Structure 1
Amino acid sequence: MQSGFGFNGHDDLIRWQRALAPIRALAGPLPRRSPIGALVKSMISGRTRDGVSLAAYDRLVAAFGTPGRVLAAGRDEVLRCIGGVTHAEDKAGYVVDALERIAVERKGFDLGFLGPPPLEEALAWLERLPGVGRKVAAATLNGSTLDRPVLIVDSHVLRVLQRLGFVSHHAEARAASEAVTAAMPEWQGRDFLDFHIATKKLGQTLCRLDAADCAGCPLRADCRSH
């Protein structure tokens, strides 16, 4: 697949994956949550530092234990647990509303049914939920025990892909996720998750928004913004 910016998307992604392997190793393992756990965790993590969102999610789990109890507790109690995250009031409402819709439609919180259908159908089902866009939907499918092959694109991953020139500087997370996912039909879920973790770590440490360390970047030879 050609990215449109002079790259052979497939071959370059393979090369970048290999070059980022040391950074991926430093990032350590990412726990595989249940799909509903991955959904809630991703919903509260947007525009928030990892440590802050993880602590908020852990408080939510410690306080209520199950999605049904989170739903029963209501928005104010959820807000009490996740108050440190960005846009906490909106996210608390989205979490409760999304859980309520899932409970009504599925008579429970088991999202295992999202494993078999075509990827676009599974993503579309999730994106109907309040507060769920492509990043959250992809995290639910790829970052959970479902292990589906789709790239999670947050702000760090998007910035790296934009600076590399793989996608336009005006591209949104959805387009970037679709471009990488389509370019790598042979990648398994773990491959996409590893690439997400590595590029996110690169964006957090070297390819920062305000102070990029290009000299130390393992992708600098391919970077259009270097």
Structure 2
Amino acid sequence: MQSGFSFSGHDDLLRWQKALAPVRAQVAPLPRRPPIGALVKSMISGRTRDPVSLAAYDALVAAFGTPGRVLAAGREEVLRRIAGVTHAEDKAGYVIGALGRIATERNGFDLAFLGTLPLGEALGWLERLPGVGRKVAAATLNASTLDRPVLIVDSHVLRVLRRLGFVDRHAEARMASEAATATMPEWSGGDFLDFHIATKRLGQSICRFDTSDCAHCPLRTDCRSHC
């Protein structure tokens, strides 16, 4: 067992998935964007409320239409459209940097080849890009039309998995993503996306950072935080 992990195991993840089904039902299905769209959307989403990041992404699409036009517009024009997101200046630079590198290396913006690489290689290829860590890479592969089986772990999902004891309280998002992905080899991309959406909503609404509503948590009997 790798240092930093405290696996609850396969059966626990299955049980949590079932218990979270009503929470998942509260969230409308997410659009499956092409991987380049999923990449940009995820890059501007970090530490930002979903409606704000979605509005920023929609503003980019409305203004420029294609990744090539976003790249040609440059950092300052991108910043104008995403100004409402957290760390907008940094993210605008990362978006331009990532798109520029993709255009140079791939002679375009078609990332369909990531669907045929081994999962670890596909994640590694994306993580070479400016501003792309494991959460963004996983979202590009899982939440896009590629539909690859890897768990997206943001701050809400990580908090829930720590409190449940799936990973220890010092584990990082990368560790939690790798642990869940390895533990559930039979899960489809859709299974992982549904688990991400449900666990994220739980973290936003019940298992919050500051004031958790443990009495109404569907996973309370498994929780190790004793709140």
TM-score by length of 1: 0.97
Q: Find the counterpart in structure 2 of residue 132 from structure 1.
A: 132
Shift of residue 4, structure 1, vs aligned partner: 5.3
Q: Give the RMSD, CA atoms, in angstroms.
A: 1.3
| Residue type at the aligned position of 1:198 | A
Counterparts in 2 of 1:130-209, with a 5 A limit? 130-209=130-209
| Residue type at the aligned position of 2:156 | H
CA distance in 2, matches of 1:51, 1:145: 21
Q: Say whether the 8 Å CA contact 2:5–2:175 is kept in structure 1.
A: no
Q: Find the counterpart in structure 1 of residue 30 from structure 2.
A: 30
CA distance in 2, matches of 1:150, 1:177: 7
CA distance in 1, matches of 2:59, 2:6: 44
Moved over 2 A (4+): 1-7
CA distance in 2, matches of 1:93, 1:159: 29
CA distance in 1, matches of 2:201, 2:94: 27
Partner-residue secondary structure (3-state), 1:104: helix
TM-score by length of 2: 0.97
Partner-residue secondary structure (3-state), 1:45: coil
CA distance in 1, matches of 2:43, 2:215: 34
CA distance in 2, matches of 1:22, 1:214: 16
The verdict on how the C-alpha distance between 1:4 and 1:154 changes in structure 2, with shifts beyond 3 A counting, is closer
The verdict on how the C-alpha distance between 1:139 and 1:110 changes in structure 2, with shifts beyond 3 A counting, is same
CA distance in 2, matches of 1:15, 1:33: 29
Shift of residue 221, structure 1, vs aligned partner: 0.2
CA distance in 1, matches of 2:7, 2:61: 46
Show structure 2 runs of 5+ residues with no match: none
CA distance in 1, matches of 2:146, 2:135: 16
Partner-residue secondary structure (3-state), 2:123: helix
Q: Find the counterpart in structure 1 of residue 63 from structure 2.
A: 63
Partner-residue secondary structure (3-state), 1:26: coil
| Aligned residues between the structures | 225
Aligned residues: percent identity?
80
Shift of residue 28, structure 1, vs aligned partner: 1.5
| Residue type at the aligned position of 1:171 | A
Counterparts in 2 of 1:113-124, with a 5 A limit? 113-124=113-124
Partner-residue secondary structure (3-state), 2:25: helix
CA distance in 2, matches of 1:113, 1:5: 34
Shift of residue 168, structure 1, vs aligned partner: 1.0
Shift of residue 5, structure 1, vs aligned partner: 3.7
Partner-residue secondary structure (3-state), 1:47: coil
Q: Deviations over 1:8-57 (max 9, x none)?
A: x1000000000000000001101100000000000000000001000000
